[in-house]
Structure 1
Amino acid sequence: MQYKDYYKTLGVSRTASQEEIKRTYRKLARKYHPDVSKEPNAEARFKEINEANEVLKDAEKRATYDALGSNWRAGEDFRPPPGADGWRNFDFNTGGASGEYSDFFSSIFGRAFRSEGRGPGRQRGQDQTITIAIELEDSHQGATRQLKLDLPETGPNGQSTTRSRTLNVRIPAGVIQGRQIRLTGQGAPGRHGGPAGDLYLEIEFKPHRLFTPDGRDIQLRLPVAPWEAALGATVQVPTLGGSVNLKIPPGSQSGRKLRLKGRGLPGTPPGDEIVQLEIVIPPAETEAAREFYQRMAEQLPFDPRARLGV
């Protein structure tokens, strides 16, 4: 039988934290799930990823695996060391019969799958992760949304199928892009009477007509007239909580950034709204406008390229 390098399978170092292992597993599971992946080897890779995660996500199982030593290489011929039978006393939380795991896995942990020859015991369903798109306003105010989801799962015959679900989901105020909402017991069903896994909803923001999110901060490009930028002005600015007044300092240039403290997404502390000025030039579409620009050119000698030395 061949040695399995579970760290290599997940693409993490042997010193990776549990949080890094969890994050990497979820990313790979989404990429290679047979129901959604376009990769030619998706099903095989998905099984390998699940097996590696089954061991490395649990501190005790990981310690048992690490006890084999770090000198082994993936694919090398492997024989369990003396006394390995004493290691096979674990409970497993993911679904799947023992046949879904490699001989290498079963040689170390396999006894847990059977109880004195009576077949597999209670097994918890797999956790599932999907991405949902919400409005920025949902995060700013908090919201409850009804979501219709098509979730992949394995049927009684072992074949992949899709389960349609309608869930009422509470979106907490201040959730940011990339964060996950956990729905306990809403993942894949368990086997042999085991509990269902959890469903993780990964947040993604829909494009907004005004704002661009950056963590808890939001960014806004604010058009201003040349005289507002040159002389200074107080103008109204949209925020997620309604319009507020913003003071533009005299002599402002395009690209200058002003900060509206606490006007981003809620949190501890709340985010800010970053306002970037964009000077908009009035069009010279009439004779009067052209004459005005001509007077400016004559009365306000100004070379915008002076610093270029040309």
Structure 2
Amino acid sequence: MAKNPYTLLGVKKDATKAEIKKAYRTLAKKLHPDTNNNDPKVAERFKEVTAAYSLLSNDDMRKQYDTGQVDASGQQQNPFAGGGNPFGGGGPQTGFGGFGGFGQRSRRGGGQDDMADLFSSLFGMNMGGMQGGMERPPMRPQKGADVRYKMQLPLLTALEGGTKSLQGGLKVKLPAGVKDGQVLRLRGKGRPGVNGGPAGDAKIEITIKPHKNLRREGDDLHLDLPITLSEAAKGAKVDIPMPQGTVKLTIPPGTNSGKRFRLSGKGAAKGDLYVTTRIKLTDAELAALPTMAKDWPDMGGADIRNGLL
């Protein structure tokens, strides 16, 4: 005995046609044999929900079912228990009996055409001419599935760009300045197509490993630059080996730790480079400090700690 079509589709009895169609689309995608390795149990449920949608998507058949004129399989209820069919013989076959009535339903206002359109949109299947049971017609060419990868890059490598290899020998050309979270697409490097369709794509999601002295904010770069005490006191010209090429920075005499310099256009893309000085004493400076400090005036350190807490 066929199951209640509303229960099979998981909709209420007063569901709209749009709600019924949406419920069927969801179930059909989930239960289609091609996506379930032709599991016979799943295939049977697929037939049941398709039969339920076949009945409920036809206004006339749905009305007959709701009023008890036909049963859940679409067969006319026989009011003459025990034999006397007023039509003679087996009676008119108005139902669909699983899948066998798509052609008959088309004469009642839609049916086959509606199902053909729905299956074409879901699976690319041509359902034309189906009679007497569900057949799997030849499928049109379909694009293969996309393949996803994750690639982690050092910040300097991301700024430089270049070519990197993935598993299977797949090579990825990295544009200079590739960003964290960016997805690169390699067309035609995914799964093979079906029935002569094109191959899918390879999609590579980029993540950037932090650098100890350099960070990126948008297209701007921020660099903590160590300088010696001598360079801070006397001034200096410093070469900074950035990925895009060497950058020259002039440090004026008397530069303190934490001083920030802006170098226009020296960041990533068209961004800027911000350099913050960090005084770091060399071993020679540390050794010479006690002697040097004897000649320094005792200014005390209270002033520089004002407002500490």
Distance 1:97 1:195 in 2: 22
Distance 1:76 1:255 in 2: 66
1:150-165 aligned at under 5 Å gives the runs: 165=168
Question: Do the aligned residues in 2 keep the contact of 1:240 with 1:264 (CA within 8 Å)?
Answer: no
Equivalent residue in structure 2 for 1:148, among 159, 166, 173: 166
Q: CA deviation at 1:85?
A: 6.5
Q: CA deviation at 1:246?
A: 1.0
Q: Which residue of 2 aligns with 1:27?
A: none
Q: CA deviation at 1:184?
A: 1.0
Equivalent residue in structure 1 for 2:184, among 170, 175, 181: 181
Cα distance change on mapping 1:120 and 1:230 into 2, 3 Å? farther
Q: CA deviation at 1:207?
A: 5.3
Q: Which residue of 2 aligns with 1:303?
A: 302
Q: CA deviation at 1:133?
A: 3.0
Q: CA deviation at 1:200?
A: 1.1
Distance 2:24 2:219 in 1: 46
Distance 2:265 2:21 in 1: 59
1:1-310 aligned at under 5 Å gives the runs: 77=11, 81-82=16-17, 97=33, 99=35, 111-112=119-120, 113=123, 114-116=125-127, 117-119=135-137, 121=139, 122-136=141-155, 138-145=157-164, 147-149=165-167, 165-206=168-209, 208=211, 211-230=214-233, 232-265=235-268, 267=269, 270-282=270-282, 286=287, 288-296=288-296, 298-308=297-307
Question: Do the aligned residues in 1 keep the contact of 2:10 with 2:23 (CA within 8 Å)?
Answer: no
Question: Do the aligned residues in 1 keep the contact of 2:163 with 2:172 (CA within 8 Å)?
Answer: yes
Distance 2:211 2:253 in 1: 30
Question: Do the aligned residues in 2 keep the contact of 1:140 with 1:174 (CA within 8 Å)?
Answer: yes
Cα distance change on mapping 1:233 and 1:191 into 2, 3 Å? same
Q: CA deviation at 1:243?
A: 2.9
Match for 2:248: what amino acid?
N
Query: In the TM superposition, what whole-angstrom CA distance separates every residue of 1:195-236 from its partner, at most 9, and x where no partner exists?
Result: 322111122335557533333333321112335335544323
Question: Do the aligned residues in 1 keep the contact of 2:144 with 2:199 (CA within 8 Å)?
Answer: yes
Distance 1:289 1:87 in 2: 80
Q: TM-score with structure 1 length normalisation?
A: 0.52
Question: Do the aligned residues in 2 keep the contact of 1:125 with 1:196 (CA within 8 Å)?
Answer: yes
Identity of aligned residues (%): 30
Higher Cα Rg, which structure: 2
Q: CA deviation at 1:178?
A: 1.8
Q: Which residue of 1 aligns with 2:108?
A: none
Distance 2:292 2:158 in 1: 47
Cα distance change on mapping 1:120 and 1:97 into 2, 3 Å? farther
Q: CA deviation at 1:239?
A: 1.7
Match for 1:307: what amino acid?
N
Which has the bigger relative contact order, CA under 8 A and spacing at least 6?
A: 1
Q: CA deviation at 1:278?
A: 0.7
3-state SS in 2 of match to 1:295: coil
3-state SS in 2 of match to 1:191: coil
Question: Do the aligned residues in 2 keep the contact of 1:239 with 1:273 (CA within 8 Å)?
Answer: no
Match for 1:202: what amino acid?
E
Cα distance change on mapping 1:307 and 1:85 into 2, 3 Å? closer
3-state SS in 1 of match to 2:170: strand
Question: Do the aligned residues in 2 keep the contact of 1:181 with 1:201 (CA within 8 Å)?
Answer: yes
Cα distance change on mapping 1:216 and 1:292 into 2, 3 Å? same
Cα distance change on mapping 1:82 and 1:221 into 2, 3 Å? closer
Cα distance change on mapping 1:137 and 1:292 into 2, 3 Å? closer
Q: TM-score with structure 2 length normalisation?
A: 0.53
Query: In the TM superposition, what whole-angstrom CA distance separates every residue of 1:67-90 from its partner, at most 9, and x where no partner exists?
Result: xxxxxxxx974576337669999x
Q: CA deviation at 1:305?
A: 4.0
Question: Do the aligned residues in 2 keep the contact of 1:236 with 1:243 (CA within 8 Å)?
Answer: yes
Structure 2: which 5+ residue stretches go unaligned?
A: 26-31, 37-41, 54-114, 128-134
